[in-house]
Amino acid sequence: MPTVKLGPVKLWRIARERTRRVRSGAPRDCSYAAQTDAKPNRGDDTVATVTMTSNRLEELLGREAEDLLSHRCETISADDLYLPGPDFVDRVMVESDRSTNVLRNLQWLLHSGRLSGTGYVSILPIDQGIEHSAGASFAPNPMYFDPNNLVRLAIEGGCNAIASTIGALGTVSRTYAHRFPFIVKLNHNELLSYPNSYDQIFFGTVQRAHELGAAGVGATIYFGSPESRRQIVEVKDAFEEAHRLGMFTVLWCYMRNSSFTIDGTDYHVAADLTGQANHLGVTLQADIIKQKLPETNRGFAAVSALNGSYGKTHKLVYEQLTTEHPIDLTRYQLANCHMGRSPLINSGGASSGDSDLAEAVRTAVINKRAGGTGLISGRKAFQRPIEQGAALLNAIQDVYLSDEVTIA
């Protein structure tokens, strides 16, 4: 039989069709109104019960409810994304160069807490004692000066993991590290040096994180800052060692430069700048990207206007790949995470008081509908009594458990 030769276009189409069949996770509906009887296959995990009703969700979203819950993304198709699902490690991560031990720890992360077996994560981050000072962080609720209570909040709040300092997690590691995923945050910006400055420095080593039983490590890079190139090299070395020791890696991909606030607009949260930060982060082999929710766009143009040149972009980023809608802006952030091969989690932000619950739920809805993997929320949870903090974390998780909040 003669050999049939396929041209490059035909081969690309076959490869693309095969990829389409493995990208998506749990079955999804693409609108808020349209529902089906199909339920996601979540393996052997017992899925938590959703406690937030549809009416309550719409009440918390307020006037934005219809816009956020029914928006259809027409920029980057969900079909081209690697979406969360109970099989994410086997479907996506197993193709990578990560070791079996890294994959096992990622699997543990995805199969812990109330969101176990959904492919989504809810993480409690507690590094604010250094980043914002212990007094500013814990005075509203002094019980959290004790790291044991921080881990209790994460567990009772149904989180998949806790991310904190090497000192905090080290004090309770023999009690919890074998039972609950620890993520050791390796570097921090401290505010005791005078005058205050912004630079991420290492407070611990990857080896120590491994010895205390961490499942993963995390680090921050202040992209756009004069110190960022040193930080990139330091984090690259740390993440390489973490992978060698079997731990997954989480990168806080933050923009930081006083010049990025221009005429009252904060371009630290521009979709194009944060998207590029995410792309640098996955280039460093971050397994998970943590990013602030985008609030604006066209950061490259705004910063370039200061001196005539900053970075590079393309007009199609703004004409075809993004709109002004927060879900579309967040999807562009996700696209820069290798189309979701490295999951995107957004941060919950500072505590604002009575509006914390509504703000956290809004962020979760945007992240999930964009194709993200979860939320990492700290101050909104621990700056209130433990029962209220756990209830807030549960409300965030309810968004990811809800079949009514679908991929846009």
Range of the domain at 132: 45-401
Is residue 177 within 8 A of residue 208, CB to CB? The reply is no
**Helix/strand/coil percentages in the chain, nearest 5:** 45, 15, 40
Residue 87 placed within a domain:
yes
Q: How far apart are the first and last CA of the chain?
A: 47
Reduce the DSSP state of residue 116 to 3 states and report it.
coil
Cα 181 to Cα 166: distance, rounded to the nearest angstrom = 14
User: Residue 385: its pLDDT value, please?
Assistant: 87
Is residue 251 within 8 A of residue 284, CB to CB? The reply is yes
User: Residue 14: its pLDDT value, please?
Assistant: 37
With both helix axes pointing from N to C terminus, report the angle between 271-283 and 326-335 in degrees, rounded to the nearest 10.
Answer: 20
Query: Residue type for 201, please?
Result: I
Residue 69 placed within a domain:
yes
Average pLDDT estimate for 96-116: 98
Give the confidence band of 47 by pLDDT, cuts at 50, 70, 90. low
Q: Specify the range with the lowest mean pLDDT, choosing from 98-102, 136-140, 159-163.
A: 136-140
Burial class (CB in 10 A: 0-12, 13-18, 19+), 95: exposed
Q: Specify the range with the lowest mean pLDDT, choosing from 172-176, 244-248, 355-359.
A: 355-359
Give the confidence band of 43 by pLDDT, cuts at 50, 70, 90. very low
Q: Is the pLDDT of residue 37 over 50?
A: no
Residue 10 placed within a domain:
no
Enter the DSSP assignment of 143: G
Kindly state the tokens that stand for 361: 């739920």
Q: List 262's β-bridge partners, or say none.
A: 265
Q: Is the pLDDT of residue 31 over 50?
A: no
User: Residue 44: its pLDDT value, please?
Assistant: 46
Cα 344 to Cα 346: distance, rounded to the nearest angstrom = 7
Give the confidence band of 366 by pLDDT, cuts at 50, 70, 90. very high
* Number of domains making up the chain: 1
Residue 376 placed within a domain:
yes
236 is catalytic: no
Q: Is the pLDDT of residue 226 over 50?
A: yes
Q: Is the pLDDT of residue 63 over 60?
A: yes
Kindly state the tokens that stand for 122: 């809810």
User: Residue 23: its pLDDT value, please?
Assistant: 54
Q: For residue range 242-269, list pLDDT tens digits in order.
A: 999 999 999 999 999 999 999 999 999 9
Q: Is the pLDDT of residue 11 over 60?
A: no
Cα 76 to Cα 189: distance, rounded to the nearest angstrom = 35
CATH code of the domain covering residue 166: 3.20.20.70
| Residue tagged active-site, from 5, 236, 290, 380 | 290
Burial class (CB in 10 A: 0-12, 13-18, 19+), 265: middle
Residue 22 placed within a domain:
no
pLDDT above 90 covers what percent of the chain? Answer: 78
Cα 361 to Cα 404: distance, rounded to the nearest angstrom = 14
Residue 307 placed within a domain:
yes
Q: Specify the range with the lowest mean pLDDT, choosing from 127-131, 209-213, 351-355, 392-396.
A: 351-355
Instruction: Give the H/E segment covering residue 359.
Output: helix 356-370
Give the confidence band of 45 by pLDDT, cuts at 50, 70, 90. low
Half-sphere exposure of 186 (CA within 13 A, CB side): 28
Q: Specify the range with the lowest mean pLDDT, choosing from 79-93, 238-252, 297-311, 371-385.
A: 371-385
Kindly state the tokens that stand for 78: 């969900």
Nearest to 246 by CA among 181, 154, 187: 181
Cα 91 to Cα 43: distance, rounded to the nearest angstrom = 13
When comparing pLDDT for 37 and 169, which is higher?
Answer: 169
Q: Is the pLDDT of residue 35 over 80?
A: no
Q: Which residues, including other chains, have CB under 8 Å from residue 63's CB and lie 6 or more apart?
A: none
**How many Cβ atoms are within 10 Å of 129's Cβ, its own excluded?**
22
Average pLDDT estimate for 356-377: 96
Q: What are phi and psi of 332, to 5 degrees?
A: -65, -40
User: Residue 348: its pLDDT value, please?
Assistant: 78
Residue 21 placed within a domain:
no
pLDDT above 70 covers what percent of the chain? Answer: 88
Q: For residue range 291-338, list pLDDT tens digits in order.
A: 999 999 999 999 999 988 999 999 999 999 999 999 999 999 999 999
Cα 279 to Cα 285: distance, rounded to the nearest angstrom = 10
Kindly state the tokens that stand for 43: 């393996």
User: Residue 256: its pLDDT value, please?
Assistant: 97
User: Residue 127: its pLDDT value, please?
Assistant: 86
Cα 169 to Cα 8: distance, rounded to the nearest angstrom = 52
Give the confidence band of 42 by pLDDT, cuts at 50, 70, 90. very low
Q: Specify the range with the lowest mean pLDDT, choosing from 86-90, 120-124, 190-194, 225-229.
A: 190-194
Residue 15 placed within a domain:
no
- Does the bond joining 195 to the residue before it have cis omega, within 30 degrees of 0? yes
